[in-house]
Copies of this chain bind each other. A is one copy, B any other.
Amino acid sequence: MVLNVEVCKGLGVPTCQLDMEMVERKGKGHPDVICDRAAEELSVALSKYYLEKTGRILHHNVDKCVLVGGQSNAVFGGGEVIEPIYLLLVGRAALNLPKGERVPIGKLVVKTTRDWLSENFRFLDPTTDIIIDYRIKPGSVDLVETFELGVDVPRANDTSFGVAFAPLTETEKLVYMAEKTLNSPEVKKAHPEIGEDIKVMGVRRKDRIDITVACAIISRLTPDPDHYLSVKETIKDIVYKLASKITEKDVEVYVNTADDPANNVYYLTVTGTSAEHGDDGQVGRGNRANGLITPYRPMTLEATAGKNPVSHVGKTYNIAARKIVEKLINEEESVEQASCYIVSRIGKPINEPQAINIEVYTDSPLNVIKTTAENIASEVMEEMPRIWKGFIEKQYELF
């Protein structure tokens, strides 16, 4: 088998040397990320169920989900959810096992979703603050066939892309880590007022980085505007402290800039997510597979969440591309930055993509890097038929 690998030198400068960057991350409590998570956890649960019952992962694609924001009346010191969030999971899945057994799809949807919600939100009651509904149908014949035809190596179920790049720039690291830190168990313990819905936007102009944080504050734990302001200060401090470890550039941090105390406008929530009041969400509208939104970088529009981890290359090629660039960075010291693009053709084995393009920033001669890059690409493609394991073991960051 000959892989179509194109290795080329990056032209221009690595992203960290550009004059500008814009980077965004939506935190785990953001309505779009809730949808991503709902879809992916369902895919994992389905995959495990299929494996246990049949020894293989049957066709499914549950990569659509819409969240209709509820209504709440958060006020300083209290409030409650008035109308629950409504979460509708949508997709396709094999609903009958080969021996005629029915897949308990409804139970899988409802139970899986309640479970991870419980683990991830401290103040959202998954039995009363959210209605979980689903419309999962059996797959279309064509796609099912495409999938089941694959005996040894699964076939790509669509013509689509995966992309990745490495390493992260300082701005990217800072945006990413800001959310991770604010949502870490340590911070939550010390400052429980900090809700789970945290959105971070970073804009770098040359050596200055502006970080804008929008963070839902837990109303019950925040008795008054003064307390609220102190929580905002805490958030700023945490991000400044983090920044000092990541970058030497000038950093400015802004928190909840839409607040308008004169008009009594604060970002208060009962549950820690804006989904409780007014904000809707969908799968695939938030972070890319590396946890970031980066318009200055290659991105795919494919949602990774909810797609089946065996044949849906729009999901798996993002991870394969990431493996390639990370290995390359590790193995070739001279490579400052690498990007990888992989495109499939529907119906072909997943380890025979239509093309792999690897772009490297290096001062080594290209032919040196080229061999390494091609070898790495081969290795990663050889592992493709087993890449699904990492998904169901939740080894990969996906959103």
Contact = CB atoms under 8 A, between A and B. Distances in A.
Interface of A: 4, 6, 8, 10-13, 18-20, 22, 24, 63-71, 73, 80-84, 86, 88, 90-92, 101-107, 110-111, 114, 126-129, 131-133, 135, 137, 139-143, 145-146, 149, 159-161, 163, 199, 201, 203, 205, 210, 212, 214, 254, 257-258, 260, 263, 265, 267, 274, 277-286, 288, 293, 295-296, 298-301, 303, 341, 343, 345-347, 354-355, 357
B105 A82 contact: yes
Given A201-B343, A282-B66, A343-B201, A104 B82 contact: yes
Contact of A284 (B140, B203, B284): B284
B6 A106 contact: no
Interface of A, helix, strand, loop or mixed by DSSP = mixed
Nearest to A126: B127
A63 B205 CA distance: 30
Contacts of A12: 10-12
Nearest to A8: B19
8 closest A-B pairs by beta carbon, nearest first, are A11-B12, A140-B278, A12-B12, A83-B106, A66-B66, A20-B357, A82-B104, A84-B106
17 contacts: A22-B341, A22-B343, A66-B88, A69-B140, A70-B106, A88-B88, A110-B131, A114-B127, A137-B278, A146-B258, A146-B265, A203-B343, A254-B345, A260-B347, A282-B282, A284-B284, A296-B341
A347 B258 contact: yes
Number of copies of chain A assembled together: 4
Contact of A83 (B105, B132, B212): B105
A108 to B, nearest CB: 9
A346 B258 contact: yes
A11 B257 CA distance: 34
Contacts of A135: 68, 86
Nearest to A146: B258
Contacts of A63: 280
A66 B66 CA distance: 6
Contacts of A8: 18-20
Contacts of A4: 205
A47 B128 CA distance: 19
A138 B48 CA distance: 27
Given A80-B107, A257-B345, A296-B341, 16 more contacts: A8-B18, A24-B301, A65-B66, A83-B104, A84-B110, A107-B128, A110-B127, A111-B128, A127-B127, A139-B278, A141-B265, A142-B265, A254-B345, A258-B346, A293-B301, A295-B299
